[in-house]
């Protein structure tokens, strides 16, 4: 496995270089089956890195893309994928104020594919779940905000536990 080359930047969303480098080293050792402390799929999905305040760091999107790809190489991926398949939720629709159904459906589709170990172009991380924001719709049918938010809490837990 080749070590990734991340861009280093001083602005924008970024992760602490040392944290990422240490975790990448553990991933490489795990894939090479040389790790004394192997990385699991659950740990890979739930890892969080510090954000540098004033120093340079690696762009969040580059690191997250690498981690999503690295999941395919994990030795325990098969056992994670063989777990019970989770079904996509259904949400009540409301007329006055709800979330845009198209946005929710797209994101929930990615969440379910990630959780169920299916191929997905952009796997979802617990951080993605915490940061997602859907546009509200008014006077059109939208998904019940409380139900969607409750699902997101549950989905974040699924992703953390792997």
Residue 1 is predicted with a pLDDT of: 62
The H-or-E segment that residue 137 falls in is: strand 136-138
The phi and psi torsions of 135 (rounded to 5 degrees) equal -75, 135
In the chain, where are the structural domains located? 14-79, 85-161
How confident is the prediction along the chain (162 residues), in pLDDT tens digits per residue? Answer: 678 999 999 999 999 999 999 999 999 988 888 888 888 888 888 889 999 999 999 999 999 989 988 887 887 665 555 557 888 999 999 988 899 999 999 999 999 988 887 777 788 888 899 999 999 998 889 999 999 999 999 999 888 876
What is the sign of the dihedral through the CA atoms of 54, 56, 61 and 65? negative
Residue 162 is predicted with a pLDDT of: 63
Helix (H, G, I), strand (E, B) or coil at 97: strand
Residue 46 is predicted with a pLDDT of: 83
107 and 148 Cβ atoms separated by less than 8 Å: no
* pTM confidence score: 0.57
Residue 83 is predicted with a pLDDT of: 58
Residue 80 is predicted with a pLDDT of: 52
């Amino acid at each position: 496995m080749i070590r990734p080359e991340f861009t280093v930047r001083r602005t924008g969303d970024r992760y602490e270089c040392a944290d990422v480098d240490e975790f990448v080293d553990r991933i490489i050792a795990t894939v090479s089956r040389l790790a004394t402390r192997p990385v699991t799929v659950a740990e890979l999905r739930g890892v969080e890195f510090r954000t540098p305040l004033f120093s340079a760091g690696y762009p969040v999107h580059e690191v997250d893309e690498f981690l999503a790809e690295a999941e395919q190489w994990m030795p325990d991926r098969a056992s994670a994928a063989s777990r019970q398949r989770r079904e996509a939720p259904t949400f009540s629709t409301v007329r006055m104020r709800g979330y845009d159904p198209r946005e929710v459906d797209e994101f929930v589709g990615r969440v379910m594919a990630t959780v169920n170990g299916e191929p997905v172009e952009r796997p979802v991380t617990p951080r993605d779940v915490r940061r997602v924001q859907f546009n509200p719709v008014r006077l059109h049918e939208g998904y019940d905000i409380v139900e969607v938010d409750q699902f997101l809490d549950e989905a974040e837990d699924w992703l953390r536990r792997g």
